[in-house]
Homo-oligomer: A and B are copies of this chain.
């Protein structure tokens, strides 16, 4: 029995970072059917893909009152989407540009945002490193002809896109038409590039992470560049800002960022891996997310939205 005593009153087992899928009819099912988490746990080692250290951005926040270390690990979006901004982020990390910056905004149910608190004050703003690109609005999407072939289960995603699929472990939406646009989507934990009004004004120095319901209205309006794969709780549990849009009103409320480094620069960093989105295990996981047949459920939904089928990620066993 996978429900522990006190947990029995507790809804569903849902391993962190997981969620649901698409497929069969919503019928009640044998109580021996595996849960999504059980399918993931049973996936063979060959279905897991290592995440290279140079694809990671490691952000160390100043310790909280309990003195515990607060490390947030972000996986950067792979080519070919958003690579202009991702390249800027690599340069900013290499320059140690974020060291001494802060988390400046926490808006409940929406985003946590970090960067230079004085970015808007010319006299105090931190200079950006040389060589950052100005990335055009057109880079928010890629024509299907310019994008690699998507893989894994095809989700309906009917409201925000014609369909949703996956690429190397990432959820990607696709529009309709003969050669539709494709774009990375905003889900819980997604990291994106804050910008001013001009669509090309975001460099990557100002970043945010989603801490609420998937804000899909941001898709194709802001650049998605990554996702939090470890330490999400250090962002999502921060005190909310009381200023407009969740900005902190006082400097002392901000959480200092001690350092941000590319994973390849961090000695002793653990390895992570994702469940291959072209694997049979992943297809079964998504199907089980869409049609919960494990014992707690009585009415499988018969579908799942792409943000509710998060790609399983785990530390390398």
- Could you tell me which A residues sit within 8 Å of B by CB distance? 3-14, 16-17, 19-20, 65, 104-105, 107-111, 113, 115, 117, 119-121, 137, 140, 156-160, 187-189, 194-197, 199, 202, 206, 208, 211-222, 232-233, 236-240, 244-245, 247, 289, 292, 295-301, 303-305, 307-308
Contacts and interface: CB of A to CB of B under 8 A. Distances in A.
B238 A213 contact: no
B218 A10 contact: no
Which of A160, A292, A299 has the most C-beta atoms of chain B within 10 angstroms of its own C-beta?
Answer: A299
B212 A304 contact: no
A217 B308 contact: yes
Interface centre among A108, A113, A157, A158, by most B CB within 10 Å?
A108
Contact of A119 (B6, B236, B296): B6
Contacts of A4: 244
Contact of A9 (B187, B206, B308): B206
21 contacts: A6-B117, A6-B247, A8-B120, A8-B196, A9-B113, A9-B194, A10-B105, A10-B113, A11-B222, A16-B109, A17-B109, A109-B188, A160-B301, A160-B303, A197-B296, A214-B308, A217-B289, A217-B301, A221-B298, A237-B238, A237-B239
Contacts of A107: 14, 16
A303 B9 contact: no
A295 B313 CA distance: 37
Q: How many copies of this chain are found per oligomer? A: 2
A213 B214 CA distance: 6
Contacts of A298: 137, 199, 220-221
Given A9-B115, A216-B305, 20 more contacts: A8-B197, A9-B202, A10-B245, A11-B245, A14-B107, A14-B110, A14-B245, A19-B215, A108-B232, A158-B158, A159-B159, A159-B305, A160-B301, A160-B303, A187-B213, A213-B308, A217-B297, A217-B300, A217-B308, A236-B240
Contacts of A296: 197, 221
A104 B197 CA distance: 43
Contacts of A238: 237
Contacts of A218: 11-12
A19 B105 contact: no
A7 B156 contact: no
A109 B219 CA distance: 20
A12 B208 CA distance: 12
B188 A213 contact: yes
Contacts of A236: 108-109, 211, 236-237, 240
Nearest to A208: B11
A158 B160 contact: no
A113 to B, nearest CB: 6
A11 B111 contact: yes
Nearest to A236: B108
B188 A16 contact: no
Contacts of A202: 9
